[in-house]
Chains A and B, each alone.
Chain A
Amino acid sequence: MGLDKGDFNDVQKDILKEIGNIGIGSATTAMSFMFHSKLTVDFTKVLALEFDEVLRLLGGEDELAVSVLSVFEGDADGMLLFIMKKDQADNLVNMMMQTHEQIEGYSDMQQSAVKETGNIIGGSYLAALESFTGLKLRLTPPQICIDMAGAILSVPVIQFGQTGDKAFLVESSFDDEEYDINGFLLMVSEFDSYEKMCAVFFPEG
């Protein structure tokens, strides 16, 4: 099955979403353990999006965003970017640390809380992708960046923008009794890597 440059058909989207569903189980367990509370993690929406549509979802280029970036390499190369609006990240931190504060600069502790969440979400998704496709992938340690959404998103755009202007996006949400938090997990990959993933799904070619 062929793949238009940077585009996905409905079947491929379903598969990528299903991988998300598999990833949810381990993410939920890990997050609930960390938060010491019953927590629901959901990958609600799966979309193949142009980068400016991603920017719109985040509120525009100059909207403050909190992001965690991990690079994966091995049989396929790409990046996982977990990104959320600053107010959503504030809620996430408050939920994790059981505080109620308006956060100005993130402390090291608060940064590592966000980093760990990004790591769990990204890692769960990648583990599911690995077991589904049989591809061997290694994830590098996550890095955090709190800045304008436009400046953050330019990083995956620059690295993989040559191959297509679309990213694969999973909208994720975390709910407990008090908060309902939305974040986005973006998977950006080399065109060859998308092909490899899809070749596994459709081996007849």
Chain B
Amino acid sequence: MGDTIKVGIADYAICKSPDMVTTIGLGSCVGVVIYDQMTKTCGLIHVMLPDSTRIRANSNKAKFADTGIPLLLEELKKKGCSGRGLRAKIAGGAKMFEFTTNNNATNVGEQNVEMVLTQLKKFGIPVMAKDVGLNFGRTVLFDPSDASMKITAAGKPPKVI
């Protein structure tokens, strides 16, 4: 049995089978896993915001979708994972509170998902599965040995994508 690596908010980790990687309590944040099934290696990043260019304090690249995805790819490349074998699965991007005001901060989840998909497309990485949006938090556990992403949410049966 391997270990389970825990990734916090605005952070990332690289993980190789038999280890697994998890991130807990994704609200409007998005958990992105990029994996390579040949080497059974993956990287998970927990991004908070879509666009680093709109924020002054943007030194933490893992916080933003636009800088986080390139960072994750770079780290995967260091482990010998790059090119056409890479695939992605994503989860999160919920809208936790239902506000009637049209404040753009309230649909940051949607913007996060959009930016993640844009970045993955830009680098030519196919998205094999996603569980995004709606109004509940998610915990994800990714197993690089079979590329399965287990998603648990409060009061719902767990699902695997």
Q: Is B154 an interface residue (CB 8 A)?
A: yes
CB within 8 Å of B: which residues of A? 52, 60-62, 64, 69, 71, 104-105, 140-141, 143, 145-155, 157-159, 161-163
Q: Do A158 and B55 touch across chains, with their CB atoms under 8 A apart?
A: no
Q: Do A152 and B27 touch across chains, with their CB atoms under 8 A apart?
A: yes
- Which residues of B are found within 8 Å of A152, using beta-carbon distances? 27, 96, 137
CB within 8 Å of A: which residues of B? 8-9, 24-29, 48-49, 55-57, 94, 96-101, 103, 105, 108, 135-139, 154-155
Which residue of chain A has its CB nearest to the CB of B152? A62
Contact among A52, A147, A161 with B96 in the assembled complex (CB-CB below 8 Å): A147
Contact among A62, A71, A154 with B9 in the assembled complex (CB-CB below 8 Å): A154
Which residue of chain A has its CB nearest to the CB of B136? A147
Contact among A140, A150, A158, A162 with B137 in the assembled complex (CB-CB below 8 Å): A150
Given A148-B24, A150-B137, A151-B137, check contact A158 B105 (CB 8 Å).
Answer: yes
Which residue of chain B has its CB nearest to the CB of A104? B155
Q: Do A158 and B99 touch across chains, with their CB atoms under 8 A apart?
A: no
Q: Do A162 and B57 touch across chains, with their CB atoms under 8 A apart?
A: yes
- Which residues of A are found within 8 Å of B138, using beta-carbon distances? 151
CA distance A61 to B11 in the complex (A): 15
- Which residues of B are found within 8 Å of A151, using beta-carbon distances? 25-27, 94, 96, 136-138
